[in-house]
Amino acid sequence: MAVRITGLGIISAIGLTVAENLFSLENSRSGIAPVKYLDSKNDFLVGEVKCSNAELLGYLNIKSQPVSRTSLLGLAAAREAWGRNRHTPELRTGFISATSVGGMDTTERFYKDYLDQNNPDYAVLRCHDSGNTTERIAAELGITGYINTLSTACSSGANAIMLGARLIEQGKLDRVLVGGTDALTNFTINGFRSLMIYDDQWCRPFDESRTGLNLGEGAAFLLLESDKSARISGNPTICCLSGWANAADAYHQTASSPEGTGATMAIQNAIEVSGLSALDISYVNAHGTGTKNNDLSESTAMINVFGDNIPDFSSTKPFTGHTLAAAGAIEAVFSALAIQKGLIFPNLNFNTPIAETGLVPITELQKDQPVVAVLSNSFGFGGNNSSLVFSVNR
Amino acid sequence: MYINAASTISHQPTFRNAGFSELIEPLDNSSELISPNYKEYIDAGLLRRMSKILRMSVAAAKDCLTQAETAQPGAIIVGTGLGCLQDTEKFLNTFLSIEGLLPPTSFIQSTHNTIAGQISLSIGNHGYNMTHTQNTLSFEHALIDTSLLLGEGKDNIITGAADEFIAFLDEAAEHLNASSKHHLTSGASFFILGKNKTEKSVARVKDVRTAGLIQDIDAAIDSFLLDNFLNISEVDLVLYSDFSEKEKMDSVAHQYFNEHYHADSKLINYTKLSGLYPTNSAFAMHYAVDRIQREPKLKNVLILNGLNKINLGLTLIESLEA
Amino acid sequence: MESLKEDLKKQIIEQLNLEDLQVSDIDDDSLLFSADGVGLDSIDALELIVLMEKFYGIQVTNPEEGKDAFLTINTMADYIEKNRN
């Protein structure tokens, strides 16, 4: 199976556009830094988009308020991915976004005022629900009809991409803009701290010394088109989305199984759907959050699937932070760039392999690589595991 | 797709009560959630942490498996408009008011996919696990995903929707001038959906469609009926929802079916029966199934979800005889 | 020490919503994290760390350290005795 990817858009801690993100990846420039834009008492390390809400409103020329930061980030990326495409009655166009927090960035400010009895602005609650976050973006792009939101924690973005591909495969849509967006919030920072998996240092995925993740924020969208749609739009194909799968770990509410059961199933099934073999995978953009549990479980899953032939792999979360529902979409854009530019991105901050598995990620940028297929993993709470396979357009 | 089991926990006596559609009356403002003894359905170790929405959902999903005599579904697909509000509010309170270490449980259970995740965990299911949250259309999107999955060869899928009421919602609605004539409620409805008709099948979901940011409701209904080769006079029962007097879905449904086309379709506002929550069209689907099983005359039931005026959901339920 | 253990059991039942258990159901040496004992899991372990800070002012910064301390009611009581001032 294969669906064409013809548009990319991204906003993250390492840049406001695809070009800026690529530049940061090529030059090992991380976006992780102490909190600056979020209203927080602490100076935790986070991957913030380097823009205040006021700057985003100006940059995007948005007048109507209230609007959540989650919607603003999503709109920035969705507009870039949509580009100069036009609406036409010939093409049924859909929009699928993923978010885990929705408008929580505005809701938590409201709720603080509410608890303090400090004249809370109830109007902002209109942008709380995740569906509204998505509708705001769709409305700006003029998309009507199939508009949907997925929320499966940290695998959400990958699931939105997968759903879009399935809708095209079964002829329900001709093209669909898919991705995810999440703003940084005190809700999630405090949540991951309460789980004791928030690293006060810079995160170190796949390193023996890893102790947790750094949260980030951002959004990314991809335009998926059927053959017919690409013919009508005339858009060149960047690469193809050829495999996808989701599986449940059914092990624990937050932790991944030590055997990597769900992760192994997701990776295996995604490769099977793509029609490729495990040996065809040139690069794995790992979920690699930097928590003890995820990285061990994911390493085990990679060994389960690839055996002694582990492809080049890295986690790009030391660049962007863990952007939750946006992560799968941001890393899908990175995967597409890896194929388009022949690059393999480095796993920053790696020194010592995990004792149990001994796997060593790529630590320096690799250029001029024949990257023909990329596997991207996204694993979430509730044992929600998704994998996507991207491949060159043949 | 065929409906092989249906289970609802709501403010009405819907749970394990076939024939409820003949008994129930519109809700009044004093109604409360009618909960079964959850211990009969959920392992005590899991139950102790579960909020209302999780209890309702896991119990209804497990009841479906019992009805369909299925040990493992092929996938679990859930729609929820507002997700796990009780735990979300609890964690907001926790981190905004406690200094020092924070208890993590409410954060873990605040994510929308806790519902589908807890169902998979409670039955040990490794299949596709998905959560749709497109406010009032969340359930319809879960149904569309189900039909895709059936097309991909999966079968016996648990699909459902749930939303939970918390007291704060009444307060918020009042301040947003969104108070409705309907009472805000909780509800969970789950189904087992299969590709082929079996001896357990009770009705069929003929088609389901969503229209987000809709411009022309009449045109959307026209094309939906046309695509299903259905004359308007063949729609025996229309289950519709409206938001408030102002939004006029009431008159949209009446105008379209009675005045415009002079069809003698019977119209029922299901929000009066279920109370108001974002995914109450799932309640309507169970109601339709229950009616169809009791009234052989009912062949085609249309669910017209206009709970949010900018979004339209259309679901066509057909009797097995149709 | 005995009253400390009683208090601990009450707090654990309350904080972890162990609705079906009474103080008398938890033996001082039953394994808290074993299915044959009380049957707690890793989320409960985090809740116990919060409990230690909230009620006894003891900070368990490393979840690994908690594993030994939270073996049984006896080990928890010992740990509290040792660490509180």
Residue-level pLDDT at B249: 54
Q: Is-catalytic flag, A154? A: yes
Helices (H), B259-300: 271-274, 281-294
* Stretch (H or E) spanning A9: strand A3-11
Residue A46: closest CA among A357, A362, A344, A317: A317
Residue linked to tokens 């900018």? B310
Tell me which chain A residue has its CA closest to the CA of residue B215: A144
As averages over each run of 10 residues, the pLDDT of chain C (85 residues) reads 91 92 92 90 92 91 80 94 83
Q: What CA–CA distance (Å, rounded) separates B71 from B56?
A: 19
pLDDT at A370 > cutoff 60: yes
Residue A92, Ramachandran bin (φ over 0: left; ψ between -120 and 50: alpha; else beta): beta
- Give the orientation angle of helix C73-83 with respect to helix C42-56, to 10 degrees: 40
| Site of tokens 């309907």 | B182
Overall average pLDDT of the B165-185 stretch? 89
Query: Do B263 and B235 meet the contact criterion of CB atoms below 8 Å apart?
Result: yes
pLDDT higher than 60, residue B250: no
Candidates B112, B118, B243, partner chain A, best to mutate (most A CBs within 10 A): B112
Give C-chain residues touching A254 at CB under 8 angstroms: 42-43
DSSP assignment string, B113-180 = THHHHHHHHHHT--SEEEEE--GGGHHHHHHHHHHHHHHTT--SEEEEEEE---HHHHHHHHHTT---
Our CA-based measurement puts residue B237 at a distance from the nearest CA of chain A, in whole angstroms, of 25
Q: Do A254 and C43 touch (CB under 8 A)?
A: yes
Distance of CA B133 to the CA centre of its chain: 12
B107 contacts in chain C (CB < 8 Å) = none
Contact of B9 with B34, CB cutoff 8 Å: yes
Find out whether B187 and B56 touch, Cβ atoms under 8 Å. yes
Contact A97, A74 (CB under 8 A): yes
Instruction: Give tens-digit pLDDT for A153-173.
Output: 999 999 999 999 999 999 999
Cβ distance B212 to A144 less than 8 Å, yes or no, reads yes
Chain C CB contacts of B45 below 8 Å: 39
Helix, strand, coil abundance in chain A, percent, nearest 5:
40, 20, 40
Q: Select the residue from C43, C48, C51 to test the B interface by mutation, using most B Cβ atoms within 10 A.
A: C43
Closest partner residue to C19 (CB to CB) among B48, B100, B102 is B48
Average pLDDT over residues B184-200: 97
Helix, strand, coil in percent for chain C, rounding step 5: 60, 0, 40
Of the candidates A46, A30, A269, the residue with the CA atom closest to the CA atom of residue A158: A269
Q: Is the peptide bond before B26 cis (omega within 30 degrees of 0)?
A: no
Lowest mean pLDDT among A303-307, A385-389, B126-130, B170-174: B170-174
Average pLDDT, integer, range A220-245:
98
Domain span at residue C13 reads: 2-83
ipTM: 0.97
**Region of residue A52 (phi > 0: left; psi between -120 and 50: alpha; otherwise: beta):** beta
C-alpha to C-alpha distance for A352 and A319, rounded to whole angstroms: 19
Q: Tokens for A146?
A: 């199939």
Count of domains observed in chain C: 1
Q: How high does pLDDT run on average in chain B? A: 93
- Cβ atoms of residues B96 and A364 within 8 Å: no
Percent of the residues in chain A that have a pLDDT greater than 70, as a whole number: 100
Q: Which residue on chain B is closest to A169 by alpha carbon?
A: B148
pLDDT score for C64: 75
Averaged pLDDT for residues B193-213: 97
In this predicted structure, the answer to whether residue B187 has a pLDDT above a threshold of 80 is yes
Say whether pLDDT at B210 is over 60.
Answer: yes
Stretch B107-130: mean pLDDT:
97
Answer for the pair B203, B288: CB distance below 8 angstroms, yes or no. yes
- DSSP per residue, A73-101: HHHHHHHHHHTT----TTS-EEEEEE-SS
**Residue A356 Ramachandran class (φ > 0 left, ψ -120 to 50 alpha, else beta):** alpha
Mean pLDDT over A381-388 rounds to 93
- The Cα A53–Cα A300 span in angstroms is 41
Assign B251 a pLDDT band (cuts: 50, 70, 90).
low
pLDDT at B248 over 70: no
Q: Please write the tens of the pLDDT for every residue from A42-81.
A: 899 999 999 999 999 999 999 988 999 999 999 999 999 9
Answer yes or no: is pLDDT of B49 > 80: yes
Closest residue of chain B to A273, computed from CA coordinates = B152
Model pLDDT, residue B263: 67
Query: What digits encode the pLDDT tens for the residues A323-342?
Result: 999 999 999 999 999 999 99
Phi and psi (nearest 5°) for B58? -65, -40
Residue B244 above 60 pLDDT?
A: no
- Identify the closest residue of chain B to C41 by CA–CA distance: B45
Indicate the burial class of B168 (C-beta count within 10 angstroms; 0-12, 13-18, 19 or more): middle
Distance, CA of B224 to CA of B300 (rounded, Å): 13
The yes-or-no verdict on residue B126 having pLDDT over 60 is yes
Give the residue among B158, B261, B145, B263 at the shortest CA–CA distance from B210.
B145
Q: Which amino acid is at B244?
A: S
**Count of CA atoms in the C-beta half-sphere (13 A) of B98:** 19
Please pick, among A51, A127, A154, A239, the residue that the annotation labels catalytic: A154
**E strands in B178-311:** 187-194, 203-211, 237-241, 266-269, 300-305
Measure the CA–CA gap between A354 and A348, rounded to whole angstroms: 15
The single-letter DSSP state of residue A264 is: H
- Closest to B101 (Cβ–Cβ): which among C19, C43, C53? C53
Residue among C54, C42, C58, C72 nearest C15 (CA) = C54
The neighbour count for residue A78, using CB atoms within 10 Å, is 30
**Beta carbons of A72 and A59 less than 8 angstroms apart:** no
Q: Would you call A253 an interface residue with chain C, using a CB distance cutoff of 8 Å?
A: yes
Which residues of chain B does C54 touch, with a Cβ-Cβ cutoff of 8 Å?
A: 100-101
What is the pLDDT at residue C2? Answer: 83
Whether the predicted pLDDT of B281 surpasses 60: yes
How far is Cα A102 from Cα A127, in angstroms, rounded to an integer? 8
- What's the average model confidence in pLDDT over A380-387? 92
Contact B113 A151 (CB under 8 A): yes
- How far CA B79 is from CA of A140, B133, B163, in Å, comes to 25, 6, 9
Query: What whole-number distance in Å separates Cα of residue B131 and Cα of residue B145?
Result: 10
The model's pLDDT over A103-156, given as tens digits with 9 standing for 90+, comes to: 999 999 999 999 999 999 999 999 999 999 999 999 999 999 999 999 999 999
Q: What CATH number has the domain bearing residue C21?
A: 1.10.1200.10
pLDDT bin (cut points 50, 70, 90) of residue A382 is confident
A230's tokens: 């690409």
pLDDT of residue A232: 97
Residue A168 to residue A191: CA distance in whole angstroms: 36
Cβ partners under 8 Å of residue A327, min gap 6: A154, A157, A180, A287, A317, A320, A378
Nearest to A12 by CA among A49, A39, A38, A44: A49
pLDDT tens-place string over residues A243-284: 999 999 999 888 899 999 999 999 999 999 999 999 999 999
Which of A297, A319, A394, A238 lies closest to A47, judged by CA?
Answer: A319
Q: How many beta-carbon pairs below 8 A join chains A and B?
A: 184
Name the helix (H) or strand (E) containing A139. Answer: helix A130-141
Amino acid at B237: L
